[in-house]
Amino acid sequence: MALKLPFLQVDVFTNTPFKGNPVAVINCMNIDESLLSDKQLQAIANWTNLSETTFLFKPTTDGCDYKLRIFTPMCELPFAGHPTIGSCKAFLQFTGQKTAKSLKQECKSGIVNLTISSEGKISFKAPRADIEEIPQDVINEYRKILQIDCVAAPKLLDVGPIWVVYLTSDAESCYNANPDFAQMAIINNKYGHGGIILAGKKPGSSQDYEMRAFVPADGVQEDPVCGSGSIALIRYLQDLHNFTETTEVNITQGGRLTRQGEIFCQIKGNADGAFSYISGGNATIVIEGSINI
């Protein structure tokens, strides 16, 4: 059956078109989910060639605003950061909501809480952020292909995607790094690591970072602006610094790819002494129209 559905392509972590990370969002809220097979959703995401294409469906859980399904060109993901923010922006546009302050997104990894600031910034609370040690000999292998020293022990962060977080001496050394991507793909695959988050602190700042995200094993040398990577970084920083109070972390990313992404993060102390990891940013609608399926 031929379908014409509302389509938006949203630029995430920026207010300026073409400076962030794009996601294609298709509004399927007015059709039954069974009308589109998994194979069709995958074929569409393969064809758009974006890192992620998402589909908004009617929620199936009470209290949720929509159900989101997220596809890369190769597979479905349980959760992803920038597609969540871009899809929320699209949901607000599709439904004409102008005053929502919080939303609940249903997705394969569970329910994700979203907040919308009065200036329109969209933030999500990470559904998970687990941290693990990395053996020293593996760290040594990464040191060799990154060709840059780390200033604290790199760790493995499972935030949905699995990232190695590698902290350099400062923002400049992070920005200038020229890793060996072919070797990185081999090592990532060898240990089952998704990719590498490289980050360096901005001199004179309290907790502002330049960040880069490499996923050569997935065929993407460098991701322009990465939501799950920002969660991995702030969880790593909490492990490193043991902040006792709510801490803001501002991240810039994408400069080497002509982007200018800005990610606004928060390590938020809860009443029970645990911490929540929050990532957010602006988003702007670049392409608006419909898609013929």
Report in angstroms how near the CB of residue 22 gets to a copy of itself at its nearest: 6
**Positions in the binding site for a copy of itself (CB under 8 A):** 7, 11, 17-18, 22, 40, 43-44, 46-51, 182, 219, 221, 257-258, 284-293
CA-based angle 55:126:90, to the nearest 5? 30
Q: Is 258 left (phi over 0), alpha (psi -120 to 50) or beta?
A: left
52 noted as active-site residue: yes
Report in angstroms how near the CB of residue 253 gets to a copy of itself at its nearest: 15
- Comparing CB distances to a copy of itself, the nearer of 74 and 151 is 74
DSSP per position, 157-207? EESSSEEEEEEESSHHHHHH----HHHHHHHHHHHT--EEEEEEEPTT-SS
Asked whether the beta carbons of 223 and 184 are under 8 A apart, the reply is no
Report in angstroms how near the CB of residue 216 gets to a copy of itself at its nearest: 10
Question: How many whole angstroms separate alpha carbon 288 and alpha carbon 286?
Answer: 7
- Residue closest to 103 by CA, chosen among 81, 125, 82, 83: 125
- Comparing CB distances to a copy of itself, the nearer of 64 and 257 is 257
CA-based angle 84:90:91, to the nearest 5? 85
- Comparing CB distances to a copy of itself, the nearer of 12 and 267 is 12
Q: Which of 52, 106, 210, 222 is catalytic?
A: 52
- Comparing CB distances to a copy of itself, the nearer of 49 and 118 is 49
Q: Which residues are catalytic?
A: 52
